[in-house]
Structure 1
Amino acid sequence: MRIIGFYTTLVLSFLLVLLVMNRSVHTYIEQKYHITPFDTQNPILELLSLPALWLESARNALLPLSQDLIIANAENHAQNQSGSEEPESSQIEPEAPKYPLISEDGHIVLEADSTFLFIGDSMMQGVGMTLGRELKKLGFSVIDIAKQSTGLTYTDFFDWGKMLKDTLDKHPRIDVVVIMVGANDPYNMPKIKYASPEWVEIYESRIEEILESANAHGALVVWYEAPIVKKEPLNTKLAFLNTLYAAKVAQAVEKENKALLLHSNNALAPNGSYTAYGKNADGKSIKLRANDGIHFSGEGSRVLGALLLERLEILPAPQEKQEAEEQEAGMAAKSVESSLDSTLLDSASRADSAIKAESSMPESHTLPASPAPSAEESSQDFGVFGGQVAYE
């Protein structure tokens, strides 16, 4: 009887936990297996989930989220680099900077002290590991809050639109937002079939939300298309998502918002089909994809990062610009001074030669002095010919 009572208590406790934590269980199953197990809007389930929501609110109030810690560290790093503390974001209204921008030839023109924000799924995490290091080598600040198993379809699990707004409010000095999503997205939403008109409308609105939030803060969006994967049924769905990303980025550009689409498949699958290997600039074969047929190897991440790095056009820092201008002005002054010295030396040389020539001329060749003109001649008009005055 004791064993039966033990197992009965264990099962009842498990069921009670499932009921209280029904929202978390629902979102996990939905995101992991792309199915909707039950309706969390049921009044009974909503009532049972209240204690869990209270505990979650208390935890957020007492303990900072990992994203908050990353943002705080980035702010401290920026302050240490500048040597002075910036006013709190609540006390200032961030102005939309002129830079970064997209040039006519497709380059990302930005200032040397710009900050990059990485958002997206585990694919973005892979790219961010190598791309972040290269950007830091160039002197940029990088905030990486990409999170695995996320996307734009299941916002109950993780809402990138809300997270981006919160991050930009906490760290307004973000200049470039880099995003890659899609692998976790081509599935049904609750009660809405994938790729149906209603599904497309909702998904496109979430793409627009990210583009508009970034541009409202003066940030440029670099959107990586979802790369081809090994499983062909999933590829067809990802190709469809890429058409939505491309269309919305193009619309943002038409509105004079700052956005750029990077074609991942041009680098990873130039022939239009999945391949695990490619060739580098030296013609050597390199592994581009992980064994799961979805994610990237280190080399594959570097190849995708290069798509962004090769487009960067970095403006000189104000101090460097001033030093360059001063150096250019100094060189110009030296050039003028050298030209003046050369002219003066040449004039002195010619004068010295004339004096020597005159002193060496024989006395018999001395020209007779011209008689002074009479009063009548002085009253007449005259002209200059060959450097001498000729009277008419």
Structure 2
Amino acid sequence: MEKLILLLDRTAVLFIGIAVGAVIGLAFLGGGENGEAVANAPAPVIEAQETASADTGPGECAVQFNRSLTRSLAEGEPVQIGVFGDSFGDGLWAALYRGFRGEEEFVVHQFARQSTGFTRYRSLNIFDDIAERLDEQPVDIAVLSFGANDTQGIYTGNSGAAFMSEEWQEIVGGRVDAIVQLLRDRGAIVYWVGLPKMRRAAFDAQIQQQNGFYAARMRQLGVPFIDTVALSVDESGEYAAYLPNPETGARTLVRANDGIHMTGMGYGFLTRGLEQRIRGYVDSARAEAMRERERRNAGNAGETDGQADG
């Protein structure tokens, strides 16, 4: 019976990943919403790089340890992980949910919104939406992934900022900075997950421009940028619908037919390293929480001894 329940659960998560991926494809095909599309402007492609290596220690998120997280761990509370983003974020959530499934010390929340983006604030102001969600459910760790719907310009008043133009980067960069600061002010550490390689060359060029832009922004903010391009290509660095499973080596379907989004297993390929990084950071934070509790207990014992001596 337990094996049957586990199989059904895994199947459900797989279909979630495929379903949200299909929505991404529709969003891409539909272009901008509410007439917000602006002609694209040429911009140099910036090479996307991680802001920290995979074996970076607990200081990878700009602070050695998040005080809110260590406090939660010291009190035996589960780690609250929030996944924010567009439809691609839905797929990442499904993969992380599956990765942490059955572990009481981790709770993974789905906070992604389909068909949203930094160029679509007329449809949904992401900053306000995230603030409202944090009011309802605080998180210790925030995973962000945006850009799937942002290969378009932004209208500001009566003028338009073309995709990747200087004004576009200033507007989007300001919105990104505000959200990262919001999450940090609410006690969360932040990870940014980039987008994978796309099959259509012209669209992939736009996505890689965004990856480069966000990678550079995350370096400035001290936020780890998870480069997923290397996880979504074959040995020659080309787009691949099938890749070897890192655990079994079996040839596995990781992309859907539209050449844009991932399958359920594909999203798992992208989050495998991130899951390990989160576990490593939490383990280090837990050890620090134990040390703090021991220091606090020792201090309390010293005060008691002092009072007795007096």
TM normalised by structure 1 equals 0.52
1:31, 1:183 → 2: CA distance?
11
Q: Distance in 2 between matches of 1:285 and 1:210?
A: 38
Indicate which of 211, 230, 243 corresponds to 2:180. Answer: 211
In structure 1, the partner of 2:22 is: none
Distance in 2 between residues matched to 1:170 and 1:228, nearest whole Å: 35
Residue 162 (structure 2) pairs with residue 193 (structure 1): yes
Partners of 2:146 and 2:92 in 1: CA distance: 12
SS of 2:154's equivalent? Answer: coil
Alignment coverage as a number of residue pairs: 226
| Contact 2:31/2:149, CA 8 A, preserved across alignment | no
- Structure 2, unpaired ranges of 5+: 1-26, 37-55, 295-310
Q: Does 1:159 align with 2:159?
A: no
More relative contact order in 1 or in 2 (CA 8 Å, sep 6+)?
2
Deviation at 1:171, TM superposition (A): 2.6
Q: Distance in 2 between matches of 1:203 and 1:186?
A: 12
Instruction: Give the aligned partner of residue 47 of structure 1.
Output: none
**Residues 50-97 of structure 1: CA distance to partner in whole angstroms, max 9, x if unpaired?**
xxxxxxxxxxxxxxxxxxxxxxxxxxxxxxxxxxxxxxxxxxxxxxxx
Kindly provide the amino acid, as one letter, of the partner of residue 272 in structure 1. G
Answer yes or no: is the 8 Å Cα contact 1:211–1:221 preserved in 2. yes
After superposition, where does 1:222-301 map in structure 2 within 5 Å? 222-253=191-222, 259-269=223-233, 271-281=236-246, 282-301=248-267
Q: CA deviation at 1:105?
A: 7.4
Amino acid at match of 1:161: F
- 81, 84, 87: which one aligns with 1:119: 84
Give 1:283-322 correspondences, 5 Å limit. Answer: 283-311=249-277, 312-313=279-280, 314-315=282-283
The Cα shift of 1:273 comes to: 2.6
Q: In 2, are the aligned partners of 1:161 and 1:210 still within 8 Å (CA)?
A: yes
Residue 170 of structure 1 deviates from its aligned partner by 2.9
Deviations 1:22-59 (A, max 9, x none): xxxxxxx9994327649xxxxxxxxxxxxxxxxxxxxx
The answer for the alignment partner of 1:184 in structure 2 is 149
1:276-303 Cα offsets, whole Å, 9 max, x none, are 1111233221111111111111211111
Looking at structure 1, the residues matched to 178 and 170 of structure 2 have their Cα atoms a distance apart, in angstroms, of 12
The 3-state SS of whatever aligns with 2:144 is strand
State, as a whole percentage, how many aligned pairs show the same letter.
27
Task: Indicate whether 1:33 and 2:37 are aligned.
Answer: no
Aligned mates of 2:28, 2:89 — CA distance in 1 = 21
Distance change (3 Å), C-alpha of 1:273 and 1:124:
same
Over 3 Å counting, the alpha-carbon distance change for 1:217 and 1:196 in structure 2 is same
Contact 2:60 2:224 in 1 (8 A): no
For the residues of structure 2 that align with 1:252 and 1:243, how far apart are their CA atoms? 14
| Larger Rg computed on CA atoms | 1
Q: What amino acid is aligned across from residue 274 of structure 1 in structure 2?
A: Y
Gaps of 5+ in 1: 1-28, 39-100, 254-258, 326-392
